[in-house]
């Protein structure tokens, strides 16, 4: 995904600001844009994105990139990568994770944000799709 995002022909064009703000408020305890947060501030909901107790190196690296983007780290983590990685986790958790139909309503806002990002990507690429 990172190679695609860095490509000059990157089709994944969207503004990550609204989604990042939503994710920060969802996953960082007592989030405030005026406050400096650390990895210790991530709540249990964030850790449930990757529920495995032992993560392979690739998944751990992805999780660290997400953490850095949500914490506004200066290590230049691509915010687009973080948003798309979270959306990918939503997709995986929805179709492959444990779930109860009753609790799906609690995911409503997650999927509203996810759909807004996906719509923005599709809208940006409308001419590509219209010509197929």
In the chain, what are the domain boundaries? 15-127
Cβ-count burial 54-75 (b if 16+ within 10 Å, e if not): eeeeeeeebbebbbbbbbeeee
Q: Which residues contact 16 (CB under 8 A, 6 or more apart)?
A: 79, 80, 82, 83, 117
How far is 40 from 81, CA to CA, in rounded Å? 22
In this predicted structure, the answer to whether residue 17 has a pLDDT above a threshold of 80 is yes
In this predicted structure, the answer to whether residue 74 has a pLDDT above a threshold of 60 is yes
Query: In terms of C-beta density within 10 A (0-12 exposed, 13-18 middle, 19 or more buried), how is residue 81 classed?
Result: buried
Average pLDDT, the chain: 83
How far is 17 from 85, CA to CA, in rounded Å? 15
Which of 12-21, 24-33, 77-86 has maximum average pLDDT? 24-33
pLDDT value of residue 131: 60
In this predicted structure, the answer to whether residue 101 has a pLDDT above a threshold of 70 is no
How far is 9 from 3, CA to CA, in rounded Å? 11
Which range has the worst mean pLDDT, 30-39, 57-66, 123-132?
123-132
pLDDT value of residue 84: 92
In this predicted structure, the answer to whether residue 132 has a pLDDT above a threshold of 60 is no
**Threshold 0.75, pTM exceeds:** yes
Which whole number is the average pLDDT over 39-68?
Answer: 83
Q: What is the DSSP letter of 97?
A: S
In this predicted structure, the answer to whether residue 117 has a pLDDT above a threshold of 90 is yes
Query: In terms of C-beta density within 10 A (0-12 exposed, 13-18 middle, 19 or more buried), how is residue 53 classed?
Result: exposed
pLDDT value of residue 53: 59
């Amino acid at each position: 995904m990172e190679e695609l995002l860095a490509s000059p022909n990157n089709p994944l064009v969207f503004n990550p600001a609204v989604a990042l703000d939503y994710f920060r408020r969802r996953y960082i305890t007592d989030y405030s844009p005026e406050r400096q947060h650390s990895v210790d501030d991530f709540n249990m909901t964030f850790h449930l994105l990757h529920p495995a107790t032992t993560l392979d190196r690739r998944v751990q690296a992805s999780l660290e990139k997400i953490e850095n983007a949500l914490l506004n780290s200066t290590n230049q983590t691509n915010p687009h990568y973080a948003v798309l990685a979270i959306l990918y986790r939503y997709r995986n958790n929805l179709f492959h994770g444990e779930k109860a139909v009753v609790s799906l309503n609690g995911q409503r806002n997650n999927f509203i944000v996810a759909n807004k990002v996906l719509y923005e990507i599709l809208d940006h690429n409308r001419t590509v799709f219209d010509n197929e």
